[in-house]
């Protein structure tokens, strides 16, 4: 089933001479499949095909694109257990996670299909002509969203399904009307190839143009660099580290024609635990947070890596309870030996800073590539003065900062880099007395959670997964939910255009029956 | 009335030792006022004040911000004739243009005020909780647009009112909830100071926080560079040359925290004249385009600088008629001697290319700083092979390309840089046979016009003023119309947030009565 080759459009090709294997972190051995990296000629061919496909695909109707996305979902499901087994072999995640993440991926694809079938997402906006306006007549103007062109998607390490080959970036770009070229994440090329085969099958069944999707293999930076610099590529989606995302952003910004990069990068997701919550519910929150910190071996971009509270006996009690809960949890496997190594290095760097103490660290025997979850603590002044302490440690890790008072808590929040999320844990109505804290937090994050955990990113229209830099490279967009489509489109105006030559979305009769703004009123009615 | 100083918030300051004067191009003499450039300390103070103001201004209601914008419009009108006189003295534009552009500026301010009073622009999106969902409960999630932070606006040379001190960028940023620091355009600092005084008066009258607006003076690159690199600045708006816009984009992209730059830059606005239109209506279109090319001395970003048609006798006739019409028009004054010099250099560079012929050039005596309108012509092959021929010449200028056939026409369009507009001039139903031309044109532009002229940018929600690079630095946004506000905002999610602590826009009762998406249905109803 796994060929080890690239999909250049619908063709499996592997003319290159560099090859490598993926790794099974649970078994601590290489996987059996051999993968061949894309050659420069294959990269060029994939991009050229995408550009040609764009000329046709941009004019596909919402129904046609929706049928394509639903077919991708069907074909992924049709891969059955084999896909889940490959996923587990390349990620170290348990079977339940594989099933859950596949479900999320299917849901994402179907959500975009539903959006396309409904059709109002194009934000059709119409101002009709006023021929007798003084001093000058007003022309008819009609606007809607149109796709940017071929999009390059960099799969993530931590979501082999939901933020990879046919994940949120690909689904949203295809929904927008943009062909997609995926750089398969090197840790799960086999999973990537299987999902790509589902996309290609779906494209054929639904008569999509050749080149609407390609899936390329590359272990170093050459493939990614070639794609981002290619003049026919018009936008980039990325999920991963700050270093990787920033490198792509810089490449894209320095092109003769700069292109947008939406990079969803690092985050330590600060959690503020207010005094009354510590006093009255510390046991509950300690258990909840031990679970959130270790969920998926801590390999979530929304992992709560920073706990902030005001020092005192209640915080001491909470700290002891958190330690107890954390140490109860059996360690789990990380995605790859290199990720485990980075986790250990990151943890040790923070542990070795002056003023840092270990609150909890799993002490039992652990298997290779398993992570020993760790909680550190430090006082507020030390945290403020040492920027290293706010570096992300990717894995089951959190640092608890004991602040002197509310003012210091606010200073710490103000000094943080941009974050995906911020959380407030509050006793009854307590939050009302902490307006400065919430105001400061809102400035630094894309989503605020009340009395909950940041992990678990709901796929729905009101979700923002993104935030001020470096949580994402452009805080004006989200990577999750149907509005993720807005990253790959631009508004376009037709002035005085003949009605029958307009896209259906903008024609007088409103043949699609979508919701439109007509002369500043939102309506489903035709223009008569 | 004109003090020559900077507005650092509401304070007039001019501690610097560099000063200069603006220039009256009609009289060809310096204006009487002396302007003092902002010092580094004054720049720092303006940015710090803007950051402090943001903490308050971001929480102002739509009503409060709308009242502020309407007050700015009132105060600009209250400056009366003196403002128009200074405008004319610093731009060389005639009185009628001054009045028209003031009207446009007032209209823009009032349009944003109306948008704020109505309130639905924040795109409130709500997904209510599903506590009994399996396998996991769903939290309540609510999203709306929130402002980015202090915005720096670079005024344009060619619109001293509408794209400068209180023009579209400033109005949209203030509407978004962002304090604004204007770098006043060095050609019309006096006009800028007077308009700034109106903004400051309006801010005081409507109790806006100190620092919500500053207006700074600087002749070189130091002021702009300092502002764009300042860590407390969160976004930039610019209207001007490709060179200037790209320099700011590069600075902003290379910051430790990159920030969005919306630069509206150059464009030659291709116009395709189809054969039947040449055959049947060439006289009408020759007269219309002679007017469009020379309007405002050709100093519009939507000036039609490139005419494309298929060669033949009909095109020869049109060319002769265009020459006749162009030579009839009395030359007019350019904005500044330096702009006149650039116009001449640009024109001469294109004229001196091999294969280029002069179709028309005003031959009479002209006053200093007046421009002699010019039309050149070249064949399609020469145009395709010489990139210099597609450079913008800012002023009353156009180059007419005689294409061999439709295929060559399409090749030329495909090879063009991104443009603000593209126009098709067509005989009856003729356009229906040119799908390849319109498809190619759509790919290169932000707005397409049928049987009209690109000049005259309507201020309405369905207008796109922007386009693929380098027409603008981010084609996903517009600089004109109420949706220009989207450049300065980001979506923000509240999860499980207490109802009474939510912004009014997201509360269950919908106290503002705005249109919201609730569980994927657009509605004005409260949530019960």
As a whole number, mean pLDDT of residues A117-127 equals 97
Size of interface A-B (CB pairs under 8 A): 188
Q: Scanning every residue of chain B, which has its alpha carbon at the shortest distance from the alpha carbon of A487?
A: B476
**Cβ neighbours of residue B54 closer than 8 Å, sequence gap 6 or more:** B147, B149, B150, B178, B179
Q: What's the per-residue H, E or C state across B105-120?
A: HHHHHHHHHHHHHHCH
Q: Scanning every residue of chain A, which has its alpha carbon at the shortest distance from the alpha carbon of B51?
A: A443
Longest dimension (CA), chain B: 84
Choosing from A178, A301, A333, A403, the catalytic residue is A301
pLDDT at residue A220 greater than cutoff 90: no
As a whole number, mean pLDDT of residues B410-420 equals 98
Longest dimension (CA), chain A: 84
- Chain A: closest CA distance from residue B79 (Å): 23
Put simply, the answer to whether B498 touches A450 (Cβ < 8 Å) is: yes
Residue A1, class by beta-carbon neighbours within 10 Å (0-12 exposed, 13-18 middle, 19+ buried)? exposed
The answer to whether B473 and B263 are in contact (CB under 8 A) is yes
Question: Structure tokens of B169?
Answer: 């960028």
Put simply, the answer to whether B493 touches A447 (Cβ < 8 Å) is: yes
Q: pLDDT tier at B494 (50, 70, 90 boundaries)?
A: very high
Put simply, the answer to whether A493 touches B463 (Cβ < 8 Å) is: yes
Q: Which one-letter DSSP state was computed for residue B101?
A: H
Set of chain A residues whose Cβ sits within 8 Å of the Cβ of B470: 257
- Per-residue pLDDT of A462-502, as tens digits, reads 999 999 999 999 999 999 999 999 999 999 999 999 999 99
Could you say which of B148, B466, B495 has the minimum Cβ distance to residue A449?
Answer: B495
pLDDT at residue B461 greater than cutoff 90: yes
Choosing from A264, A325, A392, A505, the catalytic residue is A264
- Which strands sit side by side in the sheet containing B374-379, from one edge to the other? A521-523, A516-518, A125-127, A141-147, A489-495, B445-450, B419-425, B270-273, B306-310, B397-403, B374-379, B357-361
As a whole number, mean pLDDT of residues A405-423 equals 98
Set of chain B residues whose Cβ sits within 8 Å of the Cβ of A490: 446, 466, 468, 475-476
As a whole number, mean pLDDT of residues B330-342 equals 97
The answer to whether B485 and B121 are in contact (CB under 8 A) is yes
As a whole number, mean pLDDT of residues A58-63 equals 97
Instruction: Report the C-alpha gap between B57 and B73 in whole angstroms.
Output: 19
Alpha helices (runs of H) in B352-481, residue ranges in sequence order: 380-385, 406-415, 435-444
- What is residue A521's predicted lDDT score, i.e. its pLDDT? 92
As a whole number, mean pLDDT of residues B209-227 equals 95
- Chain A: closest CA distance from residue B60 (Å): 14
Identify which of A255, A401, A422 has the alpha carbon closest to the alpha carbon of residue B469. Answer: A255
- What is residue B330's predicted lDDT score, i.e. its pLDDT? 94
Could you say which of B55, B438, B491 has the minimum Cβ distance to residue A464?
Answer: B491
What are the residue numbers of the active site of B? 264, 301
- What is residue B114's predicted lDDT score, i.e. its pLDDT? 98
Put simply, the answer to whether B497 touches A125 (Cβ < 8 Å) is: no
Put simply, the answer to whether B253 touches A257 (Cβ < 8 Å) is: no
- What is residue B365's predicted lDDT score, i.e. its pLDDT? 86
Put simply, the answer to whether B260 touches A474 (Cβ < 8 Å) is: yes
- What is residue A362's predicted lDDT score, i.e. its pLDDT? 86
As a whole number, mean pLDDT of residues A251-270 equals 97
pLDDT at residue B228 greater than cutoff 90: yes
Instruction: Report the C-alpha gap between B256 and B219 in whole angstroms.
Output: 27
- Per-residue pLDDT of B267-285, as tens digits, reads 999 999 999 999 999 999 9
The answer to whether B520 and A461 are in contact (CB under 8 A) is yes
Could you say which of A452, A466, A475 has the minimum Cβ distance to residue B495?
Answer: A452
Is ipTM over 0.85?
Answer: yes
Across A217-241, b (16+ Cβ under 10 Å) vs e yields: bbeeeebbebbbebeebbbbbbbbb
- Per-residue pLDDT of B137-166, as tens digits, reads 999 999 999 999 999 999 999 999 999 999
Identify which of A1, A18, A24 has the alpha carbon closest to the alpha carbon of residue A216. Answer: A18
pLDDT at residue A110 greater than cutoff 90: yes
Could you say which of B452, B461, B515 has the minimum Cβ distance to residue A125?
Answer: B461
Across A375-398, b (16+ Cβ under 10 Å) vs e yields: bbbbbbbebbebeebbbbbbbbbb
- Per-residue pLDDT of A360-376, as tens digits, reads 998 888 999 999 999 99
Q: Scanning every residue of chain A, which has its alpha carbon at the shortest distance from the alpha carbon of B465?
A: A493
Put simply, the answer to whether A126 touches B489 (Cβ < 8 Å) is: no
Residue to mutate among B257, B473, B494, B495, with most A CBs inside 10 A, is B495
Q: pLDDT tier at B396 (50, 70, 90 boundaries)?
A: very high
- What is residue B409's predicted lDDT score, i.e. its pLDDT? 98
Instruction: Report the C-alpha gap between B39 and B192 in whole angstroms.
Output: 18
Could you say which of A258, A449, A501 has the minimum Cβ distance to residue B469?
Answer: A258
Q: Which one-letter DSSP state was computed for residue B301?
A: T
Set of chain A residues whose Cβ sits within 8 Å of the Cβ of B126: 462
- Provide φ and ψ at B90, rounded to 5°: -100, -5
- Chain B: closest CA distance from residue A80 (Å): 21
- Chain B: closest CA distance from residue A461 (Å): 7
- What is residue A254's predicted lDDT score, i.e. its pLDDT? 98
Set of chain B residues whose Cβ sits within 8 Å of the Cβ of A494: 447-448, 450
- What is residue A219's predicted lDDT score, i.e. its pLDDT? 81
pLDDT at residue B1 greater than cutoff 90: no
Put simply, the answer to whether A447 touches B498 (Cβ < 8 Å) is: no
- Which strands sit side by side in the sheet containing A213-216, from one edge to the other? A11-13, A6-8, A213-216, A180-183, A151-154, A235-239, A261-264
Residue to mutate among A100, A493, A513, A524, with most B CBs inside 10 A, is A493
Put simply, the answer to whether A462 touches B496 (Cβ < 8 Å) is: no
Could you say which of B149, B417, B495 has the minimum Cβ distance to residue A448?
Answer: B495
- Chain B: closest CA distance from residue A267 (Å): 14
- Provide φ and ψ at A103, rounded to 5°: -60, -40
Could you say which of A258, A458, A470 has the minimum Cβ distance to residue B138?
Answer: A458
pLDDT at residue B251 greater than cutoff 90: yes
A178 is catalytic: no
Set of chain A residues whose Cβ sits within 8 Å of the Cβ of B443: 149
Question: Structure tokens of A235?
Answer: 């936008």
Place of tokens 């790859």: A336
Set of chain A residues whose Cβ sits within 8 Å of the Cβ of B146: 442
- What is residue B381's predicted lDDT score, i.e. its pLDDT? 98
The proportion of chain B whose per-residue pLDDT surpasses 70, expressed as a percent, equals: 100
Enumerate the β-bridge partners of residue B125: B143, B517
* Distance between start and end Cα atoms, chain B: 57
Q: Scanning every residue of chain B, which has its alpha carbon at the shortest distance from the alpha carbon of A429?
A: B498
- What is residue B375's predicted lDDT score, i.e. its pLDDT? 97
As a whole number, mean pLDDT of residues B256-262 equals 97
The proportion of chain A whose per-residue pLDDT surpasses 90, expressed as a percent, equals: 98
- What is residue A298's predicted lDDT score, i.e. its pLDDT? 96
- Chain A: closest CA distance from residue B256 (Å): 9
The answer to whether A119 and A62 are in contact (CB under 8 A) is yes
Q: Scanning every residue of chain A, which has its alpha carbon at the shortest distance from the alpha carbon of B140?
A: A462
Q: What angle do CA A464, A469, A471 make, to 5 degrees?
A: 50
- What is residue B362's predicted lDDT score, i.e. its pLDDT? 86
Q: pLDDT tier at B219 (50, 70, 90 boundaries)?
A: confident
- Chain A: closest CA distance from residue B477 (Å): 7
Instruction: Report the C-alpha gap between A315 and A309 in whole angstroms.
Output: 7
């Amino acid at each position: 089933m796994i060929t080890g080759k690239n999909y250049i459009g619908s063709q499996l090709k592997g003319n290159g001479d560099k090859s490598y294997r993926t790794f099974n972190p649970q078994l601590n051995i290489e996987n059996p499949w051999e993968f061949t990296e894309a050659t420069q000629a294959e990269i060029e061919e994939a991009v050229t095909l995408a550009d040609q496909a764009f000329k046709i695909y941009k004019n596909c109707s919402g129904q046609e694109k929706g049928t394509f996305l639903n077919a991708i979902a069907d074909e992924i499901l049709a891969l059955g257990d084999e896909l889940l087994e490959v996923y587990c072999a390349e990620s170290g995640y348990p079977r339940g996670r594989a099933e859950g993440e596949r479900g999320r991926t299917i849901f994402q694809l179907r959500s975009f299909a539903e959006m396309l079938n409904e059709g109002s997402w194009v934000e059709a906006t119409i101002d009709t002509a006023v021929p007798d306006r003084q001093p000058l007549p007003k022309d008819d103007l009609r606007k809607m969203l149109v796709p940017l062109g071929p999009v390059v998607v960099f799969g993530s390490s931590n979501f082999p399904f939901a933020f990879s080959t046919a994940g949120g970036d690909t689904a949203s770009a295809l929904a927008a009307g943009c062909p997609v070229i995926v750089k398969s994440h090197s840790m799960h090329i086999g999973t990537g190839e299987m999902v790509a085969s589902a996309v290609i099958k779906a494209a054929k069944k639904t008569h999509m143009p050749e080149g609407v999707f390609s899936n390329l293999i590359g272990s170093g930076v050459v493939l990614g660099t070639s794609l981002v610099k290619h003049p026919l590529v018009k936008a980039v989606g990325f999920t991963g580290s700050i270093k990787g995302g920033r490198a792509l952003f810089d490449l894209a910004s320095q092109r003769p024609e700069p292109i947008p990069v939406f990079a969803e990068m690092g985050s330590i997701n600060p959690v503020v635990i207010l005094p009354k919550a510590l006093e009255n519910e510390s046991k509950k929150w300690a258990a909840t947070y031990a679970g959130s910190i270790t969920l998926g071996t801590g390999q979530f971009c929304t992992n709560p890596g920073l706990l902030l509270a005001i020092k005192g006996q209640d915080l001491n009690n909470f700290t002891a309870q958190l330690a107890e809960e954390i140490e109860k949890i059996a360690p789990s496997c990380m995605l790859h030996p290199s990720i485990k190594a980075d986790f250990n290095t990151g943890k040790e760097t923070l542990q070795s800073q002056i003023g840092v103490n270990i609150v909890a660290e799993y002490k039992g025997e652990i298997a290779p590539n398993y992570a020993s979850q760790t909680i550190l603590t430090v006082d507020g002044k030390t945290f403020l003065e040492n920027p290293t302490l706010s570096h992300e440690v990717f894995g089951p890790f959190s640092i608890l900062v004991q602040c002197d008072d509310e003012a210091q808590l606010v200073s710490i929040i103000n000094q943080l880099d941009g974050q995906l999320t911020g959380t407030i844990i509050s006793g009854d109505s307590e939050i009302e007395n902490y307006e400065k804290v919430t105001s400061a937090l809102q400035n630094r994050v894309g989503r605020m959670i009340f009395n909950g955990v940041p992990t678990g990113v709901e796929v729905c229209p009101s979700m923002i997964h993104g935030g001020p830099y470096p949580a994402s490279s452009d805080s004006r967009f989200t990577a999750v939910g149907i509005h993720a489509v807005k990253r790959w489109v631009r508004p376009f105006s037709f002035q005085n255009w003949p009605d029958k030559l307009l896209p259906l979305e903008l024609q007088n009769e409103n043949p699609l029956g979508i919701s439109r703004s007509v002369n500043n009123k939102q309506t489903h009615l035709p223009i008569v």
